[in-house]
Structure 1
Amino acid sequence: MHLDRRNALRAAAAVALGLTASCDSPRTSPGTAVAPTGQAAAPSPPAGVPSAIASQRDWPVEIANGPRDRPNVALTFHGQGDPALARQLLAELERGGATVTVFAVGSWLADQAAMARRILDGGHELGNHTENHRNIAGMDPSAAFREINDCAQRLRRLTGSVGQWFRPSQTRHATAMIHAQAARVGYPTCVSYDVDSLDYTDPGHAAVTRSVLRDTRAGSIVSLHFGHPGTLAAIGPILDGLRQRRLRPVTMKELTA
């Protein structure tokens, strides 16, 4: 990411740190967390940010979408659930020429350790979605830190790296406290999204396809989930629909480059 864009994202994130909404709750207005519209005056650090990261330039950035002037979109997946469905979904993505970012739950990887390498070997990215997928916004700072760090260290043991991306569990937007704990672990970015497929409600593959294609545009970050048959059935039609609109599914790294 270019320096001027990163500075703009940090500035926008600084005024949005207090916004929260459940990632498993009804849809909220897309793009409300971060709207990178330019450089704002540097405010005081939010409550809960340790002095070690008190400088605004050291706060993690929250990204809710990528650049709107390029034909890229990021399909992101919450990584847990039936591993057989996960493998089928990854294979379907790869047949369609799509690379994605998977935010894995640490306890899921503890039971399905081979999935970490399977994701990376398929050309996809692997991120942190906390150790136990609990309501991190409702935790005290020390408990939130453990949730992030335990998953990070599991990723390190399995892959040699904690990865670049963190997505908080059971909240669409990171609070100041979550940002602070993510920074302590070493994550420069908290990833939100502007398109919620609502696939975890199991509305059927047609509804998942319809909602994703209706709301996705250039730069979108789409929230999807492993472990749901409707999501697996929807992936082919979603990829076809994006291709018809000349939109290309990419990893978060490529989206934000």
Structure 2
Amino acid sequence: MNIAFAASEGVPFSKTGGLADVVGALPRALAALGHQVSVYLPRYRQTKLSDPATVVRSITVPFDDEYRFPSILSGGAQAGVRFYFVEYPPYFDRDALYGTPAGDYPDNAERFALFSRAVLEASKILGTPHVFHCHDWQSALIPVLLRTIYADDPAFKEVGTVFTIHNMGYQGLFPPETLPLLMLPWDLFTMSKMEFFGQVNFLKGALTYSDYITTVSKKYSQEIQTAEYGFGLEGVLRDRA
């Protein structure tokens, strides 16, 4: 099986928490079982590459009334896993991955929407996987995009999606006007899709549109279906259980 991971961080290239450890270990385990595995990550200022990355292709991504042109870099292979990086310095060449001590970067929606679109466009060139395995809100738009904007794209006709929740406390909440900015349809702003108490919820979008949802443990999967740990999305999770 051809499996493509998409995440905002992964060992040994970038890390702020446990997500990076999973993204560093699970692809290698799957490759050892004989699967064809690739990993897509943002190219941050902090990204640690042992060898110089090579540019594979520049990607065109529409945003509002303009276009942006991230590059896809090949980071080579480790333990049978190929690594690719989305490079766009205005978004990722910063002091930290997600924000400053004062708070999150105000353009995080645009940053990780561009990452998600770039991953999909790159996969059409590098090889469409059988499954996209996405992690946390930063790559949560990939399942949404595949079922909306890319729904009629023949390249993704047979592609499935798996979404793993690492931390329900971080959901990717943004103002409603984020949708048109990211070229997403307004009909996503409903209670049954991505609307969440007047905001757009990236994580909720993935819970709605992913084929399968997993968590980091069986216990956590049970906990987040309760009001105490579900952070307002426990009902959505129970519906998908």
Q: What is the TM-score with the length of structure 2 in the denominator?
A: 0.28
More helix by proportion, 1 or 2?
1
Higher relative contact order (CA 8 A, sep 6+): 1
Q: What is the TM-score with the length of structure 1 in the denominator?
A: 0.27
